[in-house]
Amino acid sequence: MQGQGFTIIQIVLAAALMGLILLQAKGSGLGSTFGGEMGLYRTKRGFEKLLFRATIFIATLFIILSVIGLLV
């Protein structure tokens, strides 16, 4: 029974992570890192900053739970 709850939590976290990634602003991907885009550097503010931090938090939780799932 514990394994099923663990799997459900991972599925919910994966869906939340996908949603947060899709909500992020376009043009901030890896393509701009390698010179694909000549945009201005700016700081994240407001809702954009909240989305960024929430994405990092959910991704970290997902990775930690995945590693724990492998060890258990």
- Domain locations along the chain: 2-24+44-71
* Nearest Cα to Cα of residue 20 among 55, 62, 60: 55
Whole-prediction pTM: 0.72
Q: What is the pLDDT along the chain (72 residues), one digit of tens a residue?
A: 567 888 999 999 999 999 999 998 776 555 555 655 556 667 778 888 999 999 999 999 999 999 998 888
- Cα separation, 46 vs 55, in Å, equals 14
Structure tokens at 32: 């701009």
Long-range contacts of 46-54 (CB under 8 A, 24+ apart): 48/24, 51/20, 51/23, 51/24, 52/24, 54/20
